[in-house]
């Protein structure tokens, strides 16, 4: 009967599940039922962030849509009724269009074995859906649940910080000592610390191109 059927959306497609097992997690459903294996199984216990997805919900009281990142390994499928889930497959791919978050992490050398990368992408993607021009603190806060065993985090952060509007320069940030003070010219400073990527190559972030929230879930 209708009360036994879950209805939610994954990457814009409606999914219905009848008589879902209470212990089924979103992660096992994505990987085993839908074969969406971009969402990784790392620890299975909420500790590594490899399984991060974005969950969006319509809030009738405020008539707004909220987006939050979630560990799919901890999320019971039965909790998703009325939600819209976005996985890394819904964000972009090399077969269709790569998303700026994916491009920047890759070009900044933030992906080595790549196992953590989908989770990193989803954490930053969710942040950008909520705040397209984040501050540096927002970036580090968004990534605090994502572990990487390869990169040492610096290249990942370097790629993600290119979404920040803040100036990189310590003088612009109000610090006392600045890289522009003293004898060194800016050119000399940059020569000593060569960039590993060229920001001018990056695709711009265009929030109007993101998948919309399913209207059907607003009309419920």
The residue ranges that bind ligand FES (CB under 6 A) are: 41-44, 46-51, 71, 73, 111-117, 148-151
- Nearer to ligand FES by Cβ, of 72 and 217: the residue is 72
- Nearer to ligand FES by Cβ, of 105 and 128: the residue is 105
Distance CA 96, CA 172 (A): 39
List alpha helices for 108-193, DSSP H: 117-130, 136-142, 154-160, 186-192
Cβ 63 to ligand FES shortest distance, Å: 32
Q: Are the C-beta atoms of 41 and 51 separated by less than 8 Å?
A: yes
- Nearer to ligand FES by Cβ, of 119 and 214: the residue is 119
Q: What are phi and psi of 184, to 5 degrees?
A: -65, 135
Cβ 89 to ligand FES shortest distance, Å: 17
Taking alpha carbons only, the member of 23, 19, 15, 26 closest to residue 4 is 19
Cβ 168 to ligand FES shortest distance, Å: 24
Cβ 200 to ligand FES shortest distance, Å: 25
Taking alpha carbons only, the member of 78, 103, 76 closest to residue 91 is 103
User: In the beta sheet, which residues pair with residue 55?
Assistant: 68, 85
Q: Are the C-beta atoms of 65 and 57 separated by less than 8 Å?
A: yes
- Nearer to ligand FES by Cβ, of 70 and 217: the residue is 70
Cβ 36 to ligand FES shortest distance, Å: 14
Cβ 34 to ligand FES shortest distance, Å: 17
Distance CA 125, CA 181 (A): 36
- Nearer to ligand FES by Cβ, of 115 and 213: the residue is 115
Q: C-alpha distances in angstroms, 24 versus 53, 68, 106, 169?
A: 16, 21, 33, 48
- Nearer to ligand FES by Cβ, of 109 and 161: the residue is 109
- Nearer to ligand FES by Cβ, of 51 and 121: the residue is 51
Q: How far is CA 38 from the centre of its chain?
A: 13
Cβ 15 to ligand FES shortest distance, Å: 20
Q: Are the C-beta atoms of 85 and 115 separated by less than 8 Å?
A: no
């Amino acid at each position: 009967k209708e009360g036994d059927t879950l209805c939610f959306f994954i990457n814009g497609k409606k999914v219905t599940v009848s008589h879902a097992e209470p212990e089924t997690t979103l992660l096992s459903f994505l990987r085993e039922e839908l074969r969406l294996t971009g969402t990784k199984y790392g620890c299975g216990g909420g500790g590594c962030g490899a399984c991060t997805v974005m969950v969006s919900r319509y809030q009738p009281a405020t008539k707004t849509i909220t987006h939050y990142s979630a560990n799919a390994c901890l999320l019971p499928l039965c909790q998703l009724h009325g939600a819209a889930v976005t996985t890394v497959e819904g964000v972009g791919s090399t077969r269709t269009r790569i998303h700026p978050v994916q491009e920047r992490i890759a070009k900044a050398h933030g992906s080595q074995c790549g196992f953590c990368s989908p989770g990193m992408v989803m954490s930053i993607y969710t942040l950008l859906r909520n705040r397209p021009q984040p501050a540096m603190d927002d970036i580090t806060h968004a990534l605090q649940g994502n572990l990487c065993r390869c990169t040492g985090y610096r290249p990942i952060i370097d790629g993600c910080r290119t979404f920040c509007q803040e100036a990189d320069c310590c003088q612009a940030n109000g610090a006392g000592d600045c890289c522009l003070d003293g004898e060194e010219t800016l050119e000399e400073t940059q020569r000593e610390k060569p960039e590993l990527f060229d920001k001018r190559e990056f695709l711009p972030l265009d929030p109007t191109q993101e998948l919309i929230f399913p209207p059907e879930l607003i009309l419920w």
